[in-house]
Amino acid sequence: MPAWKILNRIKERFAAAVERTDVPANNRLFVHVRPGDLREVCRHVFRDMDARYVISIGWDDRPHSGGFVVSHHFSFDKAGVLCCVLVRLPGDHPKVDSVSEIIPGANWAEREFQDLLGICPEGHPWPKRLVLPDGWPEGVHPLRKDVAWNHVPEGYNHDAEHRFEDPPPGCVVVPFGPFHPTLDEPEHFRLYVEGEFVRGCEYRGFMVHRGIEKLGDSVLTYNDIPMAAERICGICGSVHNVAYAQAVEQAAALGVPLRAEYVRTIMLELERLHSHLLWVGLACHIVGFDTLFMQSFRIREPVMWMAEKISGNRKTYALCVIGGVRWEITHDLKDEMRAMLKTLEKEWLAVAGAVKGDRNLQKRTKGIGVTSKELVKEMGLVGPIARAAGVNIDCRRDLPYAAYDKVDFDVVVHEGGDVWSRVLVRVLEVFESIRIIRQCLDRMPDGPLQAKLNGELPVGRLGVSSVEAPRGESHHMVVTGENNRPRRWRVRAPTYQNLQGIPAMIKDQRLADMTISLGSIDPCFSCTDRVETLDIRTGGSQVYTQTELLQMTRQR
């Protein structure tokens, strides 16, 4: 179903509510509606038309239109259409009807634009602070255009503590984090435990929020941002790199050479390979199967070597520029990659057999952290979490980009919805990635790697792009702007939605299963905010805090 048919169905019900529409392509739809009708339009799209919720985004458009904008993003996966329902709000005291009671997965996104932009989601069921530090003063919203990227507000309280809710009657509090031996990043689950069973939890994250989006609309330029986007996630860097570039290219109606599209696809699948190999190894480590942990990391290493030969780095490939890619895949590299894939496939077949036949692994993962199809729908869960619950979605197929519409592959789906099913999905997806890369190597045409840009990119255009990361769909939105940078850039990583499903996944299960349940979504909380140095002369080490590092740089 093309975008204009979806638009006609919306207009049949809400003709008077629709103020303006834009159908830039058969797979993109932007619908501007009256503020008073926003909630019902979103209800119709999500419930009646069965669209999948993606994210809700706000931005400060006062320098251009005098007000704010909120955009709710949906995906019609079977039709292959991304749909954005937008509403314009006044510049003074912006308020918007909350959709969180209709779409529970919008809970965090609405709280986020309340924190960062001061847009009040009226009727939100739990409008508690989400992103801003607990000591951040009220009334200061850092994503507003009149707040500088390096602004430190007066009255900021470094010692303020988060106020958690009281536990349910009969439960004790067990803190999980903010630092945990099996997780490399800070997060805090406040678990409410009765006996040995978890009855509920409250999550507090965003402890090392880095303000990357603010830098994107105030300091960095269009071709600087792919470098920053790559550092959003230490594993899925190329995913964010490509998703951002595609959002800009789509907004500017800029074509990309076909050879560059194939290079992007190969690098994305190399990234999926090393991510899945990493995750399977770490999952086995969590449940005590360290032999397979070591084998997974051994098998993964040649993939990292290949990425380094192509880009110069094992990770953070600096792949994209707007309109193409930087790196070439030569004939020699093609032959070397084919040989690497042949060895990988053979060795991974042995690993897959070991995983499927290991009874202890099955005992630790079957029936644990169960996710239903209903939860996937309500919370907007994505990736292996959704596919392991029997939800057949994958934006490589449903919303094709790069060269994915030119290769054949199967979307791996299981029905169990538990950790075991997520293990199987990832194990089998490795073989599909090998299959995709081989096709790309065989079919990649000759030609340029970058499109020629004539003049500056058009201003005030909206672009959206979804890319299937190993963890699930990553979604980027860009509003093109002046001074060679976007007016607004918004990133939604897959963990952003998947984390919101954790409370339901761990409810009424044993406390001992919390770690593997959380680990099964392959969470990416953020990057580290401290540095450890090693003196090679003495062998001594020292950990510096963020404050100490800042003082050292200023003294230098």
Q: Which is more confidently placed, 308 or 288?
A: 308
Q: Phi then psi for 32, rounded to 5 degrees?
A: -95, 125
Looking at the predicted structure, is the pLDDT value of residue 426 above 80? yes
Asked if 89 contacts 95 with a C-beta cutoff of 8 angstroms, the reply is yes
What does the block give as tokens for 399?
């919303």
pLDDT (mean) for 528-532: 31
At 67, which helix (H) or strand (E)? Answer: strand 67-76
pLDDT, residue 399, reads 97
- CB atoms closer than 10 angstroms to residue 527: 13
Looking at the predicted structure, is the pLDDT value of residue 529 above 50? no
Q: Which is more confidently placed, 186 or 358?
A: 358
Strand partners, 490: 477
Q: Which of 150, 175, 195 is the last residue of a domain?
A: 150
pLDDT, residue 536, reads 40
Looking at the predicted structure, is the pLDDT value of residue 205 above 90? no
Q: Which of 111, 132, 150 is the last residue of a domain?
A: 150
State the pTM of this model: 0.91
Lowest-confidence region among 19-23, 247-251, 259-263, 279-283: 279-283
Write the CA distances from 98 to 56, 414, 499, integer angstroms.
10, 34, 20
Lowest-confidence region among 33-47, 60-74, 204-218: 204-218
Q: Which domain holds residue 541?
A: 530-556
pLDDT, residue 237, reads 85
Residue 168 lies in a domain: no
23 and 69 part of one domain: yes
pLDDT, residue 547, reads 61
DSSP 481-504: -STTS-SEEEEE-HHHHHGGGHHH
Residue 179 lies in a domain: no
Residue 267 lies in a domain: yes
Distance CA 389, CA 373 (A): 6
- CB atoms closer than 10 angstroms to residue 307: 22
Residue with tokens 């509403």: 87
CATH code of residue 51 = 3.30.460.80
pLDDT tens, residue by residue, 69-83: 999 999 999 999 999
For the chain, what is the mean pLDDT? 91
pLDDT, residue 422, reads 96
Overall residue count recorded for the chain in this entry: 556
pLDDT, residue 6, reads 96
What does the block give as tokens for 196?
């040995």
415 and 544 part of one domain: no
Q: Is the dihedral of CA 265, 267, 272, 273 positive or negative?
A: positive
448 and 513 part of one domain: yes
Non-local CB neighbours of 298 within 8 Å, separated by 6+ positions: none
pLDDT, residue 550, reads 56
274 and 320 part of one domain: yes
**Total of domains in the chain:** 3
pLDDT tens, residue by residue, 370-424: 999 999 999 999 999 999 999 999 999 999 999 999 999 999 999 999 999 999 9
Confidence band for 542, pLDDT divided at 50, 70 and 90: low
Confidence band for 294, pLDDT divided at 50, 70 and 90: very high
Distance CA 95, CA 68 (A): 9
Q: Is the dihedral of CA 227, 318, 475, 33 positive or negative?
A: positive
Lowest-confidence region among 37-46, 183-192, 332-341, 530-539: 530-539
pLDDT tens, residue by residue, 119-178: 999 999 999 999 998 899 999 999 999 999 998 889 888 888 888 889 999 999 999 877
pLDDT (mean) for 518-531: 61
pLDDT, residue 553, reads 53
pLDDT, residue 231, reads 87
Residue 99 lies in a domain: yes
Looking at the predicted structure, is the pLDDT value of residue 93 above 50? yes
Q: Which of 100, 129, 150 is the last residue of a domain?
A: 150
- 3 state SS of 222: coil
368 and 263 part of one domain: yes
331 and 456 part of one domain: yes
pLDDT tens, residue by residue, 491-516: 999 999 999 999 999 999 999 999 89
DSSP 79-114: TTEEEEEEEEEESSS-EEE--TTT-GGGHHHHHHHH
pLDDT, residue 528, reads 29
Residue with tokens 């990553």: 474
511 and 536 part of one domain: no
pLDDT (mean) for 319-346: 96
512 and 535 part of one domain: no
Bridge-based pairing of strands 541-544 and 324-325 is unpaired
11 and 48 part of one domain: yes
pLDDT, residue 83, reads 98
Residue 184 lies in a domain: no
- 3 state SS of 450: strand
What does the block give as tokens for 92?
């003074």
Lowest-confidence region among 335-339, 402-406, 528-532: 528-532
pLDDT, residue 453, reads 87
Asked if 209 contacts 131 with a C-beta cutoff of 8 angstroms, the reply is yes
Confidence band for 530, pLDDT divided at 50, 70 and 90: very low
Distance CA 72, CA 516 (A): 32
pLDDT tens, residue by residue, 465-496: 999 999 999 999 999 999 999 999 999 999 99
Looking at the predicted structure, is the pLDDT value of residue 534 above 60? no
pLDDT, residue 255, reads 94
Residue 186 lies in a domain: no
Looking at the predicted structure, is the pLDDT value of residue 31 above 50? yes
545 and 479 part of one domain: no
Question: Would you give the DSSP letter of residue 131?
Answer: S
CATH code of residue 342 = 1.10.645.10
460 and 508 part of one domain: yes
- CB atoms closer than 10 angstroms to residue 158: 8
545 and 407 part of one domain: no
Looking at the predicted structure, is the pLDDT value of residue 549 above 60? no
Residue 31 lies in a domain: yes
Residue 202 lies in a domain: no
pLDDT (mean) for 98-110: 97
**Largest interatomic CA distance in the chain:** 75
